[in-house]
Amino acid sequence: MKLSEEKHYINTIFYKVEQTAKYCKYLGNQVFQKLNMPLTLDEFSTLDTIKIYGEICQRDLAKLILKDRPSTGRILNTLEERGYITRFVDTKNNRLVRKMSLTAEGEEILTKATKVLRKYVDNLPEFMTQDDIKQLENSIQKFKQSLEKEVEMNI
């Protein structure tokens, strides 16, 4: 890469990652709308993450779903209001924390949404080969770990 190109933001890897992430986010939201999903993408990924990790505190969940603590609390409020999760107080390292777990309705809607989504994804035209995806995952993992040393995530 020539120096003259290198020095412009638009040619940096930072720009390319952010651009690709925007595509991911827009595509995800568009698909959720097109499929008339009963959940938003954020709600889906939150339920899905709770499903994997079981009972974790809100802050740990926030780190996983890539939101800050206020946003996470608000998402959980709406999921709780709609009866998809229940919240309760527990302790972690001798500290009071709020944890949550999926209700039967939460499990049900998550399963339903997952099925609809899977059907859509399976019918997409050829996307990338498994090798290409693996390669991208390795590269981006390395990059992310480099960033982690420098960035302060205040969550």
Residues that bind DNA (CB under 7 A): 22, 25-26, 29, 40, 42, 57-60, 67-71, 73-74, 76, 92-99, 154
Q: Are residues 76 and 85 in contact, defined by beta-carbon separation less than 8 angstroms?
A: yes
Phi, psi of 129 (to 5 degrees): -75, 160
Q: Among 58, 71, 103, 114, which residue sits at the site for a copy of itself (rule: CB under 8 A)?
A: 114
Structure tokens belonging to residue 69: 């603590």
Spatial separation of the C-alpha atoms in residues 82 and 111, rounded to whole Å: 16
Choose the one of a copy of itself, DNA, none that binds residue 9, judging by a C-beta under 5 to 8 angstroms depending on kind: a copy of itself
Nearer Cβ to a copy of itself (45/78): 45
Determine how many CB atoms are found less than 10 A away from the CB of residue 79. 24
Nearer Cβ to DNA (74/142): 74
Is 88 one of the binding residues for a copy of itself (CB under 8 A)? Answer: no
Spatial separation of the C-alpha atoms in residues 105 and 85, rounded to whole Å: 8
Chain centroid offset of residue 27 CA: 14
If we measure between CA atoms, which residue out of 120, 133, 104, 98 comes closest to residue 41?
A: 120
Q: Among 17, 57, 97, 116, which residue sits at the site for a copy of itself (rule: CB under 8 A)?
A: 17
Nearer Cβ to DNA (51/98): 98
Choose the one of a copy of itself, DNA, none that binds residue 99, judging by a C-beta under 5 to 8 angstroms depending on kind: DNA
If we measure between CA atoms, which residue out of 79, 90, 12 comes closest to residue 43?
A: 79
The footprint of a copy of itself (CB under 8 A) covers 7-10, 13-28, 30, 44-45, 48-49, 51-52, 64, 66, 114, 118, 124-125, 127-128, 132-133, 135-137, 139-144, 146-153
